[in-house]
Structure 1
Amino acid sequence: MSEDVQEFWNSRFGREEYIYGTTPNTFLASSIHHFPPQTKVLCLAEGEGRNALLLCQQGYQVHAVDLSTEGKAKAERLAAQHQVSLTYEISDLNDYDYGENRWDAIVSIFAHIDSASRANIYPKAIASLKEGGIFLLESYHPRQLEYGTGGPKDVDMLVTLENLRAQLGSLQVLHEAELERDVTEGTFHTGSAFVTQLIVRKGE
């Protein structure tokens, strides 16, 4: 685990406010109908728990992973406030044991990682999906650097559909888009942005 990266996120999440808000990502909220109902979902780089909360409230068995202990504390507090429970592990996504045939859906919302890490993480994530399982991603696109309304400043951590196709392999595409949209999620994601969206299904 990168101690510098963990320290960065602990400092950011250590504030009293939920810096990305407590309202779930709108792309995820509008796409849950693709998930097998009330099944096991893994949330990558879940942070403060807003997306995990939505899934818990919809009856899913939610397992979150992130390297920030501060993020975990806030996610667990948010879940307790809404009287739901989730499992939350502290791990670098590169080192996490995804398992095989384990998850019905995997969610990656603004989980920005460099290209070398994506090449390591995404194949393991897909292998851990059950047949018929869903992988859903929204990330900032390289064009987001022109907008300056959130996200990494390193282009290697921003993704295109072409990047994703190379790293995820051959899967059934349910939705794919590169588009401009309003992203209003707390203090750090606010305003017009350019994003990449992908929903794919394994097998079947």
Structure 2
Amino acid sequence: MASDWDHRFAGTDYFYGTAPADFVARQAWRLAPGARLLSLAEGEGRNACYLAGQGAKVTALERSPVALAKARALAAERGVSVNWQPMDLAQYDWPKAAFDAVLGVFIQFAPADLQAEIFAGIGRTLRPGGLVMLHGFATRQMGYGSGGPRVPGQLYTLDRLRAAFAGYTLLHQADFDADLDEGAGHHGRAALIDFVARKP
């Protein structure tokens, strides 16, 4: 049975475009060549393909087969290799200390209890010294029409992320407004959060 995400990703256009999120382009320098990176709810592949092209060894999780087919096509077009895994984050086993970095870009589809499980899973699967890299909508996004969930509890605050990753070294954090131009899915003024931290 096709999910809402399958319908969202249907068609030939890429719903969020094929360019990486601005956050990903700005923070990619933090990844050493050959870094093992896990991308959560990757969608149609824009961030995974970009980072693979920068030399990261990317594993990308995505539950929608429609999105995965487009992601594989994008990787083939760009000549990059990504380990695509059809996976719902609610069922992922978060292998211990398996990755140098974990990326989550606009993964706020999950209700608050599942988000807490995802944050705990990120901590489990990062090696010591590994990076958590999160980018999403701030709570002010409720006042904008540029995308994201319409549930305040699923939106980010820096306080919430700092609490979820207490003890981590904060490398970059920002709460700001900017204009998005990421396909049909994210377009217009948006309230955004950046968060990058290093696991002890």
After TM superposition, give the deviation of residue 166 of structure 1 in Å. 2.3
Matched with 1:198 is 195
Q: Could you tell me which amino acid in structure 2 is paired with residue 187 of structure 1?
A: A
3-state SS of paired residue (2:71): helix
Matched with 2:89 is 93
Partners of 2:27 and 2:21 in 1: how far apart?
10
Q: Could you tell me which amino acid in structure 1 is paired with residue 115 of structure 2?
A: R
Partners of 1:67 and 1:44 in 2: how far apart?
10
Q: Could you tell me which amino acid in structure 1 is paired with residue 117 of structure 2?
A: N
Matched with 1:105 is 101
Superposition TM-score, scaled by structure 2 size: 0.95
Checking the alignment, whether the CA contact within 8 Å between 2:137 and 2:193 is kept in structure 1 is: yes
Superposition TM-score, scaled by structure 1 size: 0.94
Partners of 1:95 and 1:168 in 2: how far apart?
21
Give deviations 1:138-164, integer Å, cap 9, x for gaps.
110110111111111111221111121
Q: Could you tell me which amino acid in structure 1 is paired with residue 80 of structure 2?
A: V
Partners of 1:198 and 1:181 in 2: how far apart?
16
Partners of 2:177 and 2:17 in 1: how far apart?
21
Matched with 1:117 is 114
Matched with 1:75 is 71
Q: Please tell me whether residue 62 in structure 1 is matched to residue 58 in structure 2.
A: yes
Q: Please tell me whether residue 140 in structure 1 is matched to residue 152 in structure 2.
A: no
Q: Could you tell me which amino acid in structure 2 is paired with residue 8 of structure 1?
A: D
Unpaired runs of at least 5, structure 2: none
Q: Could you tell me which amino acid in structure 2 is paired with residue 21 of structure 1?
A: G
Checking the alignment, whether the CA contact within 8 Å between 1:36 and 1:104 is kept in structure 2 is: no
After TM superposition, give the deviation of residue 165 of structure 1 in Å. 2.0
Partners of 1:110 and 1:93 in 2: how far apart?
14
Give deviations 1:48-75, integer Å, cap 9, x for gaps.
0000011110111110001111111100
Corresponding residue pairs, total: 199
